[in-house]
Amino acid sequence: MPQIFRDPSFDSTLDVLREGYPFLYCRSQRFNSDIFQIRLMGLKAICLHGAEAAELFYNPRLFVRKGAVPRRVQTTLMGIDAIQTRDNGEHRCRKEMFMSLMGPESRERLMSLLAEQWQRYAHRWEQQDRVVLFREAQEILCRAACAWAEVPLPEPEVSKRARDFGAMVDGFGGVGPRHWRGKQARRRGEKWMRGIIRAIRKGALPVQEGTAAHTVAWHREPNGELLDVQMAAIELVNAIRPIVAIATYITFAALALHEYPPYRQLLRNPAEDYPELFVQEVRRYFPFTPFVGALVREDFSWHGFEFAKGTLVLLDVYGTNRDERWWQDPEVFWPERFRQWQRSPYDFIPQGGGEFLTGHRCAGEWITIEALKQAVAFLNDGIRYDVPAQDLTYDLTRMPTLPASGFVMTNVRATGKGA
Ligand code: HEM
């Protein structure tokens, strides 16, 4: 039996928080191995890196999610006992509900709501001295996502709700005040959505069939029961909150346009789907999800390594997207690399890997790609702007991270094109 490399640290919990995104990646390089062992919060955890390991991790016969997600992540990012923590038939039924919202018509509706908001905001920005793109994008996405879901969003609440969805995401890797802000934001968000679910079920809030609000309110579990109000509220948040989170990728995309200006012209080339190459590289190159976790379902072995039932297993998302065996010069921003990409569900996993229905791959990946393409077209052609001196660095030890300034634009002029 081969020996598994063990991190010499007695417990790595603080190191994960201190080192952030590169924690797993650095160790897989140091040990020159796709598998190694650490201790996390006092427990043994097996860490996996790379496409072959991702294929193992996304085999639903080998792993379960129940019990794998720390409570601190559930109380901020995803909600207690939400889809991310479900297995087998229960998961499948919930996932079908989410995937039913991701069809072409539904996506098109979201994109046209978003396009409207980008244009509206562009005119507003013309009157402002400076615009912080990240904050504005959060609002744009929040308005469009609520309209798409048919969740009423009164005008005076827009900014507060957008910030709350953002705080839920920001809270997942935080300790102290950042974690508390995420928790409070989630409490407020779930309370709001409980009211929406109750109103729909009482007939006081009419919503169209096929929208997120209608679908979640009337979804039935495998036992034929409606979701309880709290769970329905959590899953409705889970349909809107990650749309608002696309603001992070949009901010990184703006940074990429700024730092690699030749792509501005290439993006306009109608001969090639350059926007697709560009946004895929944004999702590969810039950090968002650091890793995902699962528990071993039953004992098994892989390449001679023993996986005992109940062991926590972490998959290195950040590092797998920059694995030199698949990604030449991974630290170079180079969209053209995606011309050769074979579309494996395991070597490029910014939003998880494997299958959508039978596994936990992100339900919103197509929406994310389309919303990003639209935002890039808007930033490239829908407005002209200056980028004043500011701190555009992003800190890899902070999870999630973002350019420090949030990407400030000045002298914004709308062109009426793009998006
Ligand atoms: C799951 C990332 C956008 C809905 C996930 C997972 C990741 C992820 C890493 C977990 C994969 C795993 O557990 O193996 C992201 C990122 C996004 C994004 C970085 C960009 C901002 C979206 C959008 C939606 C969405 C726009 C829907 C509107 C979901 C759902 C799950 C999920 C419902 C749970 C899937 C399951 O457990 O089966 N996402 N996501 N996400 N995401 Fe996303």
Q: How far is CA 174 from the centre of its chain?
A: 16
Minimum-distance ligand 1 atom for the alpha carbon of 367: 26
**419 pLDDT more than 90:** no
- Say if 419 falls within a structural domain: no
For 140, 158, 352, 388, 405, the CA distances from 130, given in Å and listed in that order, are 17, 20, 36, 9, 12
**1 pLDDT more than 80:** no
CA 239–ligand 1 middle distance (angstroms): 9
- Say if 124 falls within a structural domain: yes
pLDDT per position as a tens digit, 262-302 = 999 999 988 889 999 999 999 999 999 999 999 999 999 99
CA 243–ligand 1 middle distance (angstroms): 9
CATH number of the structural domain spanning residue 345: 1.10.630.10
Residue-level pLDDT at 330: 98
- The encoded tokens of residue 367 equal 């929406």
- Say if 269 falls within a structural domain: yes
pLDDT per position as a tens digit, 305-361 = 999 999 999 999 999 999 999 999 999 999 999 999 999 999 999 999 999 999 999
Minimum-distance ligand 1 atom for the alpha carbon of 371: 26
Closest residue by Cα to atom 2, ligand 1, is: 351
**DSSP state string for 310-353:** T-EEEEEHHHHTT-TTTSSSTTS--GGGGGS----TTT--BTB-
8 A C-beta contact, residue 288 and residue 352: no
β-pairing, 312-316 vs 43-48, is parallel
Range(s) of the domain holding residue 279: 5-414
Percentage of the chain modeled with pLDDT above 90: 95
Q: What is the mean pLDDT of the chain?
A: 96
8 A C-beta contact, residue 394 and residue 357: no
Instruction: Name which residue leads in pLDDT, 60 or 416.
Output: 60
CA dist., res. 351 & res. 60, Å (int): 17
- Say if 346 falls within a structural domain: yes
User: Cα-flanking dihedrals φ and ψ of residue 374, to 5°?
Assistant: -65, -45
Residue-level pLDDT at 272: 87
- The encoded tokens of residue 40 equal 């996390």
β-pairing, 312-316 vs 291-296, is antiparallel
Partner residues linked to 314 by β-bridges: 47, 293
Closest residue by Cα to atom 31, ligand 1, is: 362
Minimum-distance ligand 1 atom for the alpha carbon of 243: 26
Closest residue by Cα to atom 22, ligand 1, is: 364
**φ/ψ bin of 244: left (φ > 0), alpha (ψ from -120 to 50), beta (otherwise):** alpha
In 3-state terms, what secondary structure has residue 332?
A: coil
Residue with tokens 């079908």, as numbered in its chain: 96
**207 pLDDT more than 90:** yes
CA dist., res. 282 & res. 351, Å (int): 12
Q: Angle of helix 133-149 relative to helix 229-259, nearest 10 degrees?
A: 140
pLDDT per position as a tens digit, 78-99 = 999 999 999 999 999 999 999 9
Residue-level pLDDT at 136: 98
**229 pLDDT more than 80:** yes
- CB of 50 within 6 A of ligand 1: the answer is no
CA 364–ligand 1 middle distance (angstroms): 6
Residue-level pLDDT at 173: 80
Query: Would you place residue 417 in the very low, low, confident or very high pLDDT band (cuts 50, 70, 90)?
Result: confident
Amino acid at the residue 48: L
Pocket test for ligand 1, best of 362, 368, 372 (most atoms within 8 A of CB): 362
How many domains are there within the chain? 1
Residue-level pLDDT at 418: 66
CA 201–ligand 1 middle distance (angstroms): 27
Minimum-distance ligand 1 atom for the alpha carbon of 91: 38
ipTM above 0.90, yes or no: yes
Residue-level pLDDT at 379: 98
Exposure of 123 in the CB half-sphere (CA atoms within 13 A): 6
CA 246–ligand 1 middle distance (angstroms): 11
